[in-house]
Amino acid sequence: MKATLARYLVAGIVLASSARAEEPPKDKPAESALTIDKPVVCRTIGGFEDYEKLPNASQTSDEKLLVYYRPRGYEVAPKGDRFAARFTQDGQVRAKGKKKVLLRKAKLLDYEAVADRPPREVYLQNTFSLKGLPPGEYEYDVILRDENARTSATATVEFRVVPARLPKAED
């Protein structure tokens, strides 16, 4: 399975071809609305469901926010004799509990995943520069669009910017 995962690693997205049936079971309705599983602030991301959470989601403004999440309920469209899921994403940062956007990046992600079977397990990851943010509590909004279905979903993850630690002076 690792070879299959590596084959589809592009721009932070992995498609995991599963052995599941391509059609949903008859007794279980198909997901109809795009949703985003709870985003996770990470120290590292190794692949599908393989990430290390950043303790307390705390980092300095010199670092980049690394976020992992999984979309659900996206539409897969035929593309020739293959199948495609297409996503675009914006990202924005706000002070915790506030509406005013402090930092925004449009088209942070623009990706079309094409595979022989409908892509059923997708993860997305992205980085976001925190340059210029003073220490404090913040929220990062993932604004994801399913370009096949022309729908969107937003999910928010909290994080903290802490002061940079200066090196200790040596005697």
Q: What is the DSSP letter of 137?
A: E
The 10s digit of each residue's pLDDT in 13-71 is 444 433 333 444 444 344 459 999 989 999 999 999 999 999 999 999 999 999 999 99
Note the pTM of the prediction, 2 decimals: 0.78
Distance CA 127, CA 159 (A): 13
CA dist., res. 87 & res. 110, Å (int): 6
Helix, strand and coil in the chain, % to nearest 5: 5, 55, 40
Would you list the domain boundaries of the chain? Answer: 2-17+33-161
Beta carbons of 67 and 42 less than 8 angstroms apart: yes
* Model pLDDT, residue 170: 67
Topology (CATH level 3) of domain 2-17+33-161: Immunoglobulin-like (2.60.40)
pLDDT range class, residue 2, cuts 50, 70, 90: very low
